[in-house]
Amino acid sequence: MLLFATLFSAHASEGDGATDTSETPGATTPVSQTHAEYVRLSQEMEKLATRNAWPGVEKMYLDLVATGETPSFADYLIGAHAARALGDVKAARERLLGANTVQNGDQEVIDWLWDIDSNYGPVFLAGDLGKASLDCANMPFDPNQAQAIAFAKTQIDATGVFDGYLPQGDYVFAKHDVQVKPRVDSPHIDLRTGDVAPTHKTKKKKKGD
């Protein structure tokens, strides 16, 4: 809560200056309307974040980005918290990088990016919808890592494809061993095209299978 209070205070100050225009009544331009919508979404996002309503925050963040306005540092950071809560580590990382472009050197952002790059790895897994599933050899105790795996499973179940980050560890995707390690070549398996990275091997069938 202290983190959000600090961010919201800083964001409110930015917003106060940004919404002060010299336009006369009736002379509102499309640009000012867009900015007003951005400010509204940003404020709504902050309110939802204080209640840990992360699905709502995620929707507001995507709508905010769709306005074309550049998110503030606070917007990026709140968006990263929403993505992490939902298990989307790739989106969280991208938003942290965005925050770093706005306010370079923030310690929380740097530590968070380091944690992701030290404990997760990017993967691409694809198969025919309904014919591929993801299993984890050992489910991590860390709730954020467990949520990241749950998010990947949901994506595969819904679309057949997952393009994101998983915690380091051993997985099985449609009988293919997948080993995820930080800072190494990304596992890439596309069963639709037969494209399987050479570092991944098909599990041998046992007698009687």
- Residue 82: which of 142, 139, 9, 144 has the closest Cα? 144
Q: What is the pLDDT of residue 20?
A: 45
Contact present, 103 and 112 (Cβ < 8 Å): no
- φ/ψ region of 174 (left if φ > 0, alpha if ψ in -120 to 50, else beta) reads left
Count the alpha carbons within 13 Å of 209 in the hemisphere toward its beta carbon: 6
**173, containing H or E segment:** strand 169-173
Residues 119-137 pLDDT 10s: 999 999 999 988 889 999 8
Q: Domain map of the chain by residue range? A: 2-86, 121-196
Q: What is the pTM of this model?
A: 0.80
Residues 138-185 pLDDT 10s: 999 999 999 999 999 999 999 999 999 999 999 999 889 999 999 888
